[in-house]
A and B are shown apart, each in its own frame.
Chain A
Amino acid sequence: MIELDNVTLTAGSCRLEALSLQIPSGQYAVLMGRTGIGKTTILEAICGLRTVDSGRIRIQGVDVTDWDPADRRTAYMPQDLALFPTMTVRQHLEFALRIRRRPGLEIARRVSELAALLQLESLLERPMRGLSGGEAQRTALGRALAWPPAALLLDEPVSALDAATRHSALDLLKSINRTTGVTVLHVTHNEEEASSLADLRLQLVAEPGSGRRVLGVG
């Protein structure tokens, strides 16, 4: 479960006040709203990259508001994917496990599982340069899932893909949510994406006049 309780945060000139939401465990939530309204800011606050001014953030019922990003068990996939340019696909899949000093056998097994799940078997030794948009996106997803997260935060994950790849990527995201039971918060502008994926639809809007951001359901 991802829970925001009366959260207020500031990002430059954008101020988000008194945001509250609950995404039940295992649900696929889609957050929509116009460009620049603060959707990414909410994702960054949940994964700990942005401090909140007030309010509490809970993951799986645990208050993680003051926790370091490393301890929150949230996997964040930014819009530009932010892949590591000096690493291969395999090194991306291994990354979260190596940082936690997991045994070699466990790492190898997990990489095999992820490579099969994300159809990356033939790409494991490839560097980032030259990967297609879909391959890069699957690599970023594998990196995020390697150490099973409690919440998967996706910032417009398929916006850079062509139509055909986008459909298969959306199917993949939904199937990952179903098979792993990970709670997903997916930011998008795209109505079609929201319709095909969402168990729960959230809308971030600015109130006319005051400009105050309001998070609504549906």
Chain B
Amino acid sequence: MKEPYSEVARKPGDVCGVRPEASGTRRLRDAVFLLLMGGLSSSFVVLIVLLLAADLLFTSLSAFSAAFRQPEIIAAFLLTLKTCTAAAVLSVWAAVPLGYLLSRYSFTGRQLVDVIVDIPIVLPPLVLGLSLLILFHQPLPGTSWILDRWLQDSVGFPVTYRWPAVVLAQFAVASAFAVRTMRVTFDQIHPRAEQVARTLGCSRAQAFLHIALPQAWRGIITAFTIAWARSLGEFGPILVFAGATRNRTEVLSTSVFLELSVGQLDAAVAVSLLMVAMAVVVLVILRGLGAGLSP
């Protein structure tokens, strides 16, 4: 029977059965592999850096400060902060129970719910905005009841083309990412501790509140941050469902659009850079929590 590696081992200059030539070839292949991987990876990183550098070179400090002296931009900035925060809070509010249920329980229709939750992630943003618009303005089948009219007349809280529409449009997309994050968070928390808590006298709700939730705090902050970041970048659904009315429903993403549409490229770039700075802050928070953007 032929001994394994015997031919290699008999050649002169062998060290532990490995020929120096073979070792050198392997090192060369490793170097080529790393160069290839590095080259492919850096093409993306370089693109992002070039984009940011181009923005920075295009604008000047004076143009930047001029843009932020405009009352419309200041109003858009403040509205962005408010609506992103409101959408992120609402997203976490929905994502924590939904993520927990999807992670812990098997129930009829769970797969369907799982798919439905992902729809806002894959749906074109404009379609989502259009769907919201139709939902709020379509009469209930067989009646003349319209949700937006009812909210305006009976509740005194009109939504469409007002700031609540901005929040709702942001929430519709951001919550899907928050749910994914919370689902993964609860998947990573072993349910055994909650089970033990139930044998110690806890109801399911108490086990959730006392055991699961305190362990999920990092996931909750991550979900909030991701939802906030997604809300910041939302544009299509806001444009369709809330409009882009200055001092009313204008947020930073729509400011860029409005400034571009009137030929104010300097102001558009300045607002873009501000959004980049806000995104960087969010990413730093995420990295600080030891979590990436992907759930």
Residues of A that sit less than 8 Å from B by CB: 47-49, 68-70, 72, 74-78, 80, 82-86, 95-96, 99-100, 143-144, 146-147
- Does B196 contact A82, Cβ atoms closer than 8 Å? yes
Cα(A72)–Cα(B202), bound, Å: 11
Q: Can you list 17 contacts pairing A with B, beta carbon distance less than 8 Å?
A: A48-B199, A49-B195, A69-B199, A70-B200, A70-B203, A75-B200, A77-B196, A78-B195, A80-B190, A82-B196, A84-B193, A85-B193, A99-B197, A99-B201, A99-B202, A100-B201, A147-B200
B215 contacts the other chain (Cβ, under 8 Å)? yes
Nearest first, the 10 A-B pairs at minimum CB distance are: A82-B192, A86-B214, A96-B200, A69-B198, A82-B193, A99-B201, A76-B199, A82-B196, A69-B199, A47-B199
Query: For B198, what are the chain A residues with a Cβ–Cβ distance below 8 Å?
Result: 48-49, 68-70
CB B115 to nearest CB in A, in angstroms, measures: 26
Query: For A48, what are the chain B residues with a Cβ–Cβ distance below 8 Å?
Result: 198-199
- Does B200 contact A78, Cβ atoms closer than 8 Å? no
Closest to B211 in A: A84
- Does A49 contact B199, Cβ atoms closer than 8 Å? yes
CB A112 to nearest CB in B, in angstroms, measures: 19
Query: For A47, what are the chain B residues with a Cβ–Cβ distance below 8 Å?
Result: 199
B206 contacts the other chain (Cβ, under 8 Å)? yes
Partner of B202, one of A49, A70, A77: A70
- Does B192 contact A96, Cβ atoms closer than 8 Å? no
- Does A99 contact B200, Cβ atoms closer than 8 Å? yes
- Does B199 contact A72, Cβ atoms closer than 8 Å? yes
Query: For B200, what are the chain A residues with a Cβ–Cβ distance below 8 Å?
Result: 70, 75, 95-96, 99, 143-144, 146-147
- Does A75 contact B193, Cβ atoms closer than 8 Å? no
CB B204 to nearest CB in A, in angstroms, measures: 9
Q: How many residues of B contact A (CB 8 A)?
A: 17
Query: For B202, what are the chain A residues with a Cβ–Cβ distance below 8 Å?
Result: 70, 99
- Does B199 contact A75, Cβ atoms closer than 8 Å? yes
- Does B206 contact A99, Cβ atoms closer than 8 Å? yes
Additional pairs, 11, CB under 8 Å, beyond known A70-B201, A78-B195: A68-B198, A68-B203, A69-B199, A76-B195, A76-B199, A78-B196, A80-B190, A82-B196, A96-B200, A99-B197, A143-B200
CB A50 to nearest CB in B, in angstroms, measures: 10
Q: A82-B190, A84-B193, A86-B214 are in contact. Are A74 and B201 (CB under 8 A)?
A: no
- Does A85 contact B215, Cβ atoms closer than 8 Å? yes
- Proximity bits, B170-201, A CB within 8 Å = 1, else 0: 00000000000000000000101101111111
CB A148 to nearest CB in B, in angstroms, measures: 12
Cα(A85)–Cα(B206), bound, Å: 16
Cα(A75)–Cα(B197), bound, Å: 10
Cα(A41)–Cα(B214), bound, Å: 28
Cα(A102)–Cα(B268), bound, Å: 62
Query: For A74, what are the chain B residues with a Cβ–Cβ distance below 8 Å?
Result: 199
Cα(A83)–Cα(B197), bound, Å: 10
Query: For A77, what are the chain B residues with a Cβ–Cβ distance below 8 Å?
Result: 196
Cα(A77)–Cα(B193), bound, Å: 10
Cα(A144)–Cα(B199), bound, Å: 9
